Each structure stands twice: as structure tokens, then as C-alpha cells.
Amino acid sequence: MAELPTDTNDFAGFYRQTVAPLRRYLARLIGSSADAQDLAHDAYARVYPAVKKGQVEAPQAFLYTTARRLAINRIRHRDLARTQTASHEVLDGAMSPAPGVRQIVMARQEFAQLERAIAQLPPGCRAVLLLRKVELLPHKEIARRLGVSCSTVEKQHVRALRLLRAALAAPPEEATGTEPSETYLPVTGTQS
């Protein structure tokens, strides 16, 4: 056990004698040699004034007790910070209005499947569907633009929706390479 230092030179000797074992002790307590070095420094800074005034009978015991208390406080603060960080991350993730990576990937896959299904529609069905769903035109305006009857537009629209539902209901690998099996109803000319 180290002797009671009576002056600054004695405290320097006390420091040299106790610093390495103290750092090892603290490293075992908190699991980090860098933190142990910081805590040892803090412990010596707290112990020195009391030792210098002669208020301490067992400086090594006082040093280790001080260091242990500092280590316990550091562990509490570290655990509290981890808990708060983890809870903030959970809350941030839960409250985020932005879609997650999984939702983005799924949406892109669904969009690609929809694009393939639309591309595979017969030209007349595709034209009617795009004018109706993208440009939001009424059937009469679509019929006027395409030069067909309103009845043809209605039939092409219903057919396009039916073919899309079938294509989107099929697994993606089945929907990619198949052509619609129904016969093509041309948009040009009048049909009833």
C-alpha cells in the first residue's frame, strides 16, 4: 500500500506507484482503456486537494473509492445515453413520414410490373387507358380524339382494365413475357 504523501514530490511518487494498477482496475470496470485513463486522471484531480490538506488517512483506499464512484457514474451516463439514443432512433423511424427502403423497393417493383403490363396491352386498349387514366379525359373526348365511337372507347377501356388486372394478378415472371390472348379490337374505324 502506498504511503501517505506529505508534499508534492511525495504525491508524484504516489501517482507513479498507483497509476498503472488503478487504470487496469478501471479498465476492467468499464471495459475501455481510454475511458479508464480519463477516469484515473479525474480521480487523481479529486484526491490531490484532500491529500495535500492532510484530510486523508488512507490515500490509496480514498483514490480507489473515488475512482470506482466516477466509473459507476460514467457507466450510468453511458447506459442512459445509449437508451435515449436507441429510443430516439426507434421514435424517429416510427414517426418518419418518408417510406422505408423496403417500401421504396416494393413500390418500384410494382411500378415496373404495371409499366410492363401497360406496354403489353393491345395498342387501342393502351391508347384509351392512357387517355382516360393519365389525361383524365371523358369517353366522349377520347372517342373524338381517336375518331371512334364512344361505345368502342368504353369496350376498349373495360378490356384494358380486365387485361391489366389479369397481368398484375399473375406473378411478375409470368406477366413479363406474355402477350394478351384476346383478339385485338382496332381503335380506328367504328365498331359497336
- pLDDT tens profile 139-178: 999 999 999 999 999 999 999 999 999 988 877 654 444 4
- Phi, psi angles (nearest 5°) of residue 187: -80, -30
Architecture of domain 8-95: Orthogonal Bundle (1.10)
Domain with CATH 1.10.1740.10 in the chain: 8-95
pTM of the model: 0.41
CB 180 within 8 A of CB 170: no
Q: How confident is the model at residue 19 (pLDDT cuts 50, 70, 90)?
A: very high
Q: Which residue has the cell 475511458?
A: 35
Domain with CATH 1.10.10.10 in the chain: 101-176
What are the Cα distances from residue 99, in Å, to 86, 102, 110, 188?
Answer: 20, 8, 15, 43
Its CATH class, for the domain covering 101-176, is: mainly alpha
Rounded average pLDDT over 172-190: 46
6 conformational bin, left if phi > 0, alpha if psi -120 to 50, beta if neither: alpha
- pLDDT tens profile 68-116: 999 888 888 887 777 777 666 666 555 667 778 888 999 999 899 999 9
CB 190 within 8 A of CB 148: yes
Query: In the numeric block, which cell numbers belong to residue 181?
Result: 390472348
Rounded average pLDDT over 17-34: 90
d(CA 84, CA 47): 32
Check pLDDT > 60 for residue 45. Answer: yes
